[in-house]
Structure 1
Amino acid sequence: MDVSLLLDGLNDKQREAVAAPLGNHLVLAGAGSGKTRVLVHRIAWLMTVEQASPYSIMSVTFTNKAAAEMRGRINELMHGSSAGMWNGTFHGLCHRMLRAHYLDANLPEDFNILDSDDQMRLLRRLIKAQNLDEKQWPARQAAWYINAKKDEGLRPQHIDTFNDPVEQTWLRLYQAYQEACDRAGLVDFAELLLRAFELLKRSKHIREHYQARFKHILVDEFQDTNNIQFAWLRLMAGPDCNVMIVGDDDQSIYGWRGAKVENIQRFLNDFKGASAIFLEQNYRSTGNILKAANELIANNNERMGKNLWTDGAEGELISVYAAFNELDEARFVVGKIKEWQQTGGALQDTAMLYRSNAQSRVLEEALIQAGMPYRIYGGMRFFERQEIKDALAYLRLMANRHDDASFERVVNTPARGLGDRTLETIRMAARDRGATMWQASIALLEEQVLAGRSANALRRFIELINALEDDTRELPLYQQTDEVIRNSGLRVMYEQEKGEKARHVLRTWKNW
């Protein structure tokens, strides 16, 4: 490849980052400064100029969407010659590592990922099992506590409560939660990172394997990394590794979930000979917007310091309207859009941004009153929809009978006559025996503890799961899914419901 193709169209600082000598580098990239382009061209430079094998390169991003975009742009630039490179999120790469080394990580081969909803359901069960009042000990707060401790790399045995009764209660819940997850072969998102870190720290041969393979590591959005991600990176990067991080201390907004903007400075201190390159030319905003942003952000303490600029137009001045309340705000916004429309502007070129979904109602009412058509973007993600999670829970339970979260989700979905009292009996039996809910159910049936109707319903459920696994074992996944939806009763359940939601669910399953 002609090297000029990698540098043409870049500004001087972008070229400096792309063509930087091998070593450790921090690219402090302001908003709209073309950092993704720099990362893509840097990877291409490593393969073309430095003759690096794709197998020796790992690229880390923060979202699956960003990872897919980077993968596509690299393949386009390199004409598909990037096969073998690891590209993904911290969680995705740690998941890949744990699948490859599940025995060393003390996990079953078929371990399942616990999403946030399933985590809440499990925590509520554990809170009830410990005779705690969920109003005083909310499951969401328990999840925050557990995830925060894992982000700091702390297991229950590492935490000192200092005889604080509140801390002792949260710690007891953490311990019970970890035992339940280990027993059922479940891994939550925070656990992916912590267990992968522990795997590298504990297993010298695995650590040296990855250090020998990955000679070039690139990390995007470094200001959003937490302690366990930084520690994982340090173990992955061997003494001969060249690490380039891209971040912006002015865009650190995730401190509330454990992100440490100081990791940028730690990188300069902990990675030998690290140098800093500043990307300050902005390609996204007008001059007036950048001047206002620079003035505002200059008030932040402990900045590394940069000043965004553009060679584009100054643009319109920024206007601010201080509304009396949310109704006045909605009226003003819709009025400005109407003015724009009356002067020839198209509604499709107009967008309204708001901080939270709760604010949309007043804005929608104002739009309806003005007779102005609109469309809401966003909403629930595909795999967070109830009907999708129900189908996935059947598939997960077929693969792993010890998955208590999936068991609870579908044992009475569709309704099969298993009430709250029966489920509570199963939960208590599982807790008392130190077993999973599946194991406890079989034991209760064998011991004839349950009443006739409940026992028959539970027995039919167990037979259903066993039959689904036997009948679909040799089928490809999409056919397994279709069989589960049809034979579990999920399809009939929604066919019997009325309304647009039920019709939407059936269309979704048809196209899945």
Structure 2
Amino acid sequence: MTYADLLYRPLLVLEGDGALRNRVEGFLDHVIIDEYQDINAAQQRLLSVLVGSRAEVMAVGDANQCIYEWRGAKPDTMLENFTATFGEATDYPLSTTFRHGHALALAANHAIAANQRRPNQLCLAAANNPETRVSVGQGSRLLLDALVDWQAQGRAFNEASLLVRSWALSVPFQLALLQAGIPFRLQREDRFCFSFTAGAGPGGVFKAVASS
């Protein structure tokens, strides 16, 4: 059985057997679900069974960050479907981010402005957040220029990280760093573009990490 089966099959049994459902529902007083925008219909129905008619439910998440549609997640789950399942809800907007500066917050607001069905709120950076600069470009030149500027500010290479969607996309940057003589370290050493490991030089080691 897959992980999806471990959710779907118990749900079918609980919804089809009233006596069994009575054994598991109604024992919870408060339920908090984080990243609620990522759950699918089966998970929400299973949650409804566990909650029963007495528990208070709090959903923490952001419908604008619903990126798991491939496994059944939809923005509706956190919007209309939540109140249809659990009743009227009170919204507590969490608009302030402590992760980045104003430039990235502004870019994020522009990126989601086209969403027709979204809460009417902005992403605001906290006043004391570090400065964030947003640059757009192609190729490795932008990265190399940023690292040179980084070092000119007295920062070490091991204070910088490069994030890529997949390790395959890191190869051009690995080659550019090697050609420029800038030391770096991969989170996965087996993803190095050659069979040997680049040595660390003065000034620390530049890190490269990927989400895959």
- TM-score category of the 2 structures, normalised to the smaller one: 0.7 to 0.9
Deviation at residue 263 of structure 1 after TM alignment: 0.3
Q: Which has the higher contact order (CA 8 A, sep 6+)?
A: 1
- For residues 315 and 188 of structure 1, do their structure 2 counterparts lie closer, same or farther at Cα, with a shift above 3 Å needed? closer
CA distance in 2, matches of 1:302, 1:228: 22
Distance 1:191 1:378, change over 3 A: farther
Residues 1:262 and 2:72 aligned together = no
Does the 8 Å CA contact 1:287/1:315 hold for their aligned counterparts?
Answer: no
Residues 373-452 of structure 1 aligned to structure 2 (within 5 Å):
373-377=183-187
**How does 1:119-134 map onto structure 2 within 5 Å?**
none
In structure 1, distance between residues paired with 2:4 and 2:20: 21
More helix as a share of residues: 1
Gapped runs of 5+ residues in structure 1?
1-186, 324-328, 381-499, 501-512
Superposed CA RMSD in Å reads 2.3
- The one-letter code of the counterpart of 2:108 is A
Letter in 2 for 1:360: S
What's the CA shift string for 1:346-382, capped at 9, x where partnerless? 11110111122210111111111122221222589xx
Contact 1:221 1:247 survives alignment (8 Å): yes
Provide TM-score, normalisation by structure 2.
0.80
Question: Cα deviation per residue 1:136-166 (whole Å; 9 max; x = unaligned)?
Answer: xxxxxxxxxxxxxxxxxxxxxxxxxxxxxxx
| Structure 2 match to 1:301 | 116
The CA distance in 2 between the partners of 1:302 and 1:321, in whole Å, is 28
Cα 1:302–1:273 change in 2 (3 A) is: closer
Percent identity of equivalent pairs: 31
8 Å contact kept, 1:211–1:236: yes
Superposition map of 1:189-208 within 5 A: 189-208=3-22
Partner Cα distance (2:56, 2:134) in 1: 46
- TM-score (normalizing by structure 1): 0.35
Q: Deviations over 1:300-354 (max 9, x none)?
A: 111122112234158656342332xxxxx12331232133224421111101111
Which of 277, 293, 305 is equivalent to 2:92? 277
Q: CA deviation at 1:260?
A: 1.4
Report the CA distance shift for 1:343/1:244 in structure 2 as closer, same or farther (over 3 A). Answer: closer
Q: Is 1:355 paired with 2:169?
A: no
Matching of residues 306-345 of structure 1 within 5 Å: 306-313=121-128, 316=131, 318-323=133-138, 329-345=139-155
1:35-74 per-position Cα deviation (integer Å, ceiling 9, x unaligned): xxxxxxxxxxxxxxxxxxxxxxxxxxxxxxxxxxxxxxxx
Distance 1:315 1:188 in 2: 43
Q: Quick check: which one's strand share is greater?
A: 2
Moved over 6 A (4+): none
Alpha-carbon deviation of 1:217?
1.7
From the CA coordinates, give the structure whose radius of gyration is larger.
1
- 1:18 corresponds to: none
Following TM superposition, by how much is the alpha carbon of 1:194 offset from its aligned partner in structure 2, in angstroms? 0.6
Distance 1:375 1:196 in 2: 45
**In structure 2, what is the Cα distance between the partners aligned to 1:350 and 1:221?**
28
Measured in 2, the distance between the counterparts of 1:218 and 1:315 equals: 31
Mapped pair 1:241 → 2:92? no
> What secondary structure does 1:245 align onto?
strand
User: For 1:306, what is the secondary structure of its paired residue?
Assistant: coil
